[in-house]
Homo-oligomer: A and B are copies of this chain.
Amino acid sequence: MDIKKFFEPESIAILGVSKTPEKVGSVIFKNLIDSGFKGKVFAVNPNEDFVLGYKSYPSVKNIKGNIDLAIIAVPSDVVIKTVKECAQKKIKNILMVTAGFGETGNLKLDEELLSILNKNKIKLIGPNVLGLINNYNNVDTLFIPFYRLKRPKKGNISFVTQSGAFGSSVLDLISAEGYGLSKFISYGNCLDIDESDLLDYLNKDKTTEVIVLYIEGVKNGRKFFETLKKIKKPVIVLKGGKFIESKKSTLSHTGSLAGTYETYQGVFHQTCCIPADFIQDVFDFLRLFEKNIEVKGNRIQIITNGGGHGVISADAVIHYGLKLAELSDLSKKIFKKSLPSIATISNPLDLVGDADDLRYKLAIETCLHDKNSDVILLNLLYQTPRLTKNIVDIITSLNNKNLKPIVVVSTGSYLTMELEKALENKGIPCFQFPENAVKSIKAVYDYYQYRK
């Protein structure tokens, strides 16, 4: 199904813009004007000539010229009348924000709507959606003001979510944490366009490099499976309603019947999706996937300046089913010659608390060339006295050699966060705790292993 016009419209009409700026239709209209969208935007309101200082049309039919996308935010009792007018105007793409359909038991309204759509070949996202964002042309139809929901910078992550509120809160946090976004879509009840259609679109979308999917249930399992099989990009998926006891809540929420989680796990495994157990996993896994970091083997070499962190990192490596690399004889020889006697030449490689930038440089460089390991897990504890800010440039220049992934773990407050941000800006993934780093490395390793 071609759904390009939803994301790349040249003209948008918002039906249900009110004089009250807080109302859903008004917020959408205002956000589209403020976001810098270059296409045409029209407000529709049958009772007003002007809304929020802009001309308003009594019906879409009164607008001259073509309308690529209609966003409907009218009350549910006038929704059918409104859709009929869109059909008369030959509008082919509708985003339906209005709720009160199947999700509240009103199946009759679903049927009425579907019949008009089919008769007029209209495509629909919704009803009951939060809306969508295309960060590459400033299409922003979310009915949440910017002060409540920060918008992310441009990037390569696209996010498809069945739950609007969940999507908005994650979007807000993604923005604050500095991740970059390509597209965001809350698809709600998916009466017409479903998760599979959206995934198919994102698979072809050039600015999307990693996809995050939140689903509670899918209606067409076969289509979902076939679509996922075709996708050539990493798909991190969080499934809501994993257990019999918690599944009943998904019924009332989005009205979709969910199969057992085991069935979904089977599908994810066969289609090389990356399942997230928890919300935290989504954020953690993205740190590696958004940077296109490829993990080709499971042998992890830990470098640390804090013994305890080294031990906890080693625990995490075993816990998540990866392997502790063994230093090559050559590396051992270099370290025996160059490191102080209290250093531990093993895995973890403990450079001890007085390690300075140069000791780290030697350790990283040697391990990058060591054929016995695939990933360097680099603990940097900035509380120790001799590590300076120059370490950022040292790691960056070593990382740019692209010999193997370097994943940094730094636990601490202000100085730590400042240096973490600097490293992230240079494309080096940073985690606060070793366990999250290792779990993410495992997720990426599995993805590239199964994908082959």
Given A245-B314, A385-B27, also A411-B169 (CB < 8 A): yes
Is B319 a contact of A242 with CB atoms below 8 Å?
yes
Binary per-residue interface labels of chain A (227-263) against chain B in the complex, 1 for a CB within 8 Å, 0 otherwise: 0000000000010111101101110111000000000
Copies in the complex: 2
Q: With an 8 A cutoff between CB atoms, is A3 at the interface? A: no
Cβ A173 vs Cβ B314 within 8 A: no
Known: A169-B411, A347-B249. A308 touches B163 (CB 8 A): yes
Chain B minimum-CB-distance residue to A177: B413
Q: Is the CB of A306 within 8 A of B169?
A: yes
Flag whether A150 is at the interface (Cβ < 8 A): yes
Q: Tell me if A339 is interfacial: C-beta within 8 Å of chain B.
A: no
CB pair B309–A165 under 8 Å, yes or no, is yes
How many angstroms from the CA of A348 to the CA of B216 in the assembled complex? 15
Which residues from chain B contact A147 at a C-beta distance below 8 Å? 415
Query: Measured between C-beta atoms, what is the minimum distance from A42 to chain B in Å?
Result: 23
Given contacts A307-B165, A310-B253, contact A246 B100 (CB under 8 A): no
Q: A99-B342, A311-B163 are in contact. Are A173 and B246 (CB under 8 A)?
A: no
User: Contact at A279–B27, with CB atoms within 8 Å?
Assistant: no
Give A119 to B175 CA distance when docked, in angstroms: 63
Q: Which residues in window 324-378 of A have CB below 8 A to B?
A: 324, 341-342, 344, 346-348, 350, 353
A411 contacts B170, C-beta separation under 8 Å:
yes
Task: Report whether A22 and B385 are in contact in the complex, using a CB–CB cutoff of 8 Å.
Answer: yes
In the complex the two chains form, is B246's CB within 8 Å of A144's CB? no
Bound complex: CA A384 to CA B169 (Å): 9
A252 and B148 contact, Cβ closer than 8 Å, known pairs A165-B308, A383-B165? no
Q: Is the CB of A315 within 8 A of B240?
A: yes
Inter-chain contacts of A435 with B (CB < 8 A): 278-280
Contact partners of A344 in chain B: CB under 8 A:
249, 252-253
Complex Cα distance, B415 from A149, in Å, reads 8
Partner among B22, B104, B249, B411 whose Cβ is within 8 Å of the Cβ of A172: B411
Minimum CB distance partner of A170 in chain B: B411
Contacts of A150 in B (CB 8 A): 413-414
A317 CA to B247 CA in the complex, in Å?
12
Complex: A341 Cα to B252 Cα, angstroms: 12
Contact A348 B280 (CB under 8 A): no
Answer whether A240 and B311 are a contact pair too, CB < 8 Å, given A280-B433, A318-B245. Answer: yes
Residue of B nearest to A278 (CB): B435
**Which residues of the partner chain B approach A342 to less than 8 Å between Cβ atoms?**
99-100, 103-104
Which listed residue (B214, B306, B318, B413) contacts A163, Cβ 8 A?
Answer: B306
B348 touches A249 (CB 8 A): yes
- Closest chain-B Cβ to A112's Cβ sits at a distance in Å of 19
Q: Are B433 and A385 in contact (CB under 8 A)?
A: no
- Is A382 interfacial (CB-CB < 8 Å)? yes
| 0/1 string, A168-186, CB within 8 A of B gives 1 | 1110110110000000000
Asked if B172 and A306 make an inter-chain contact with CB atoms under 8 angstroms apart, the answer reads: no
The answer to whether A172 and B307 touch (CB under 8 A), given A165-B384, A245-B324, A324-B245, is: no
Chain B residues closer than 8 Å to A385, beta-carbon distance: 22, 24, 27, 143-145, 148
Name the residue of chain B whose CB is nearest to the CB of A353.
B165
Nearest CB on B from A278, distance (A) = 4
CB distance from A270 to the nearest CB of B (A): 22
Across-interface contacts of A309 in B (CB, < 8 A): 163, 165-166, 169
A46 within 8 A of B: no
30 A-B pairs with C-beta separation under 8 A:
A104-B341, A143-B385, A144-B385, A161-B308, A163-B311, A164-B306, A164-B353, A165-B305, A166-B306, A166-B308, A166-B312, A167-B308, A169-B306, A169-B411, A173-B412, A216-B308, A238-B312, A240-B312, A242-B319, A246-B314, A246-B317, A249-B344, A250-B311, A252-B344, A252-B346, A252-B350, A253-B308, A253-B310, A278-B435, A279-B433
